[in-house]
Amino acid sequence: MKPSPIHPAPADAAARKAYEPVVCYPVDSLPSYDPSVFAAARESMSLIDEVVVQPRDAEIFHVPQGHFFRIVCPEGPQVGDLNLWNANDLSERFFSGKTRALYGTHVSTGDKLMSNMPFLRSMATITEDTLDWYGWDAFGGSVHDVIGTRCDPYTNVLLTGNEYHHCCHSNLTRALAGHTGMSLDAAEPLVHDVLNVFMCSGFTFDTKQYFIKASPVRTGDRLEMFAEIDLLGGLSTCPGGDCSESHSSDAATCAPLKVEVLKPVEGSLAKWRAPERSSYSRTHGTSGGVSK
């Protein structure tokens, strides 16, 4: 519980609060989503790989540039935490904060998942979301958020004093270390804030605290994305299951998630253009950019 204010409101408090909001990053200059770019490819693609992520675990998967991947709920309500890296340079990875600033707190069809600076380009575009019907509920909740950081053992110890070793942070760290052959200590800093796939979440109206609630995901639901660069993905099945009660628990009912990697027919993406890394030059002057 946050403390109550101790300072009285000034005489012009109402006027100060009445200023109209200004969108920080208008996105009108960004290319709008054109489903026709992907239509032919989506009709012709074939399954080339499938990875099943068991409950309270994580797996790494590879999606070549120009391919699609789907995160599927195969057996019952379950949410997952997604990390994305450039498969050829792990220093380029998903930037949830900038994705949130550009596309909002929750993402769906047509939104792009941006990478970190100095790259700042689209890593993937969402091309289908079977939960797009959900919209916003009466609590201010929606699906597929980029506001939650990922459950982690450090916060668990901070809040409860107890260690829990199947948090999504821990699962992703072990999976990345196992896939790359690097040590756990080397892999851990590469694990980053996530796209909470199928998670239903928001901020409480009164204290503005991050909340989770039972996900509307059901067997057969999927979130499909198009890989704009060569991707290495990491997906953890949240130890909270559908997050109706908790997000770090061995008591919650959990289910697996499945990742499908799909290859389109050659020539079906004629209108698509690969994203370039940011054109900003860090050699521009001394008062602006950071020199190399």
| Average pLDDT rounded to a whole number, residues 65-89 | 98
What share of the chain has pLDDT > 90, as a percent? 90
CA distance 292 to 290: 7
Q: Where are the domains of the chain?
A: 49-263
Quick: pLDDT tens for 245-285.
877 888 899 999 999 999 999 999 999 999 999 999 877 65
> What's the pTM?
0.94
Range ranked top by mean pLDDT from 1-10, 30-39, 51-60, 248-257:
51-60
Question: Which residue do the tokens 């008591």 mark?
Answer: 251
* Single-letter residue type at 158: L
Look at residue 249 in the predicted model and tell me its pLDDT. Answer: 82
Q: Under DSSP, is residue 257 helix (H, G, I), strand (E, B) or coil?
A: strand
Q: Kindly write down the DSSP assignment for every residue of 26-94, as one continuous string.
A: --TTSPPP-THHHHHHHHH-EEEEEEEE-TT-EEEEEE-TT-EEEEE--SS---EEEEEEETTEEEEEB
pLDDT single digits (tens) 204-232: 999 999 999 999 999 999 999 999 999 99
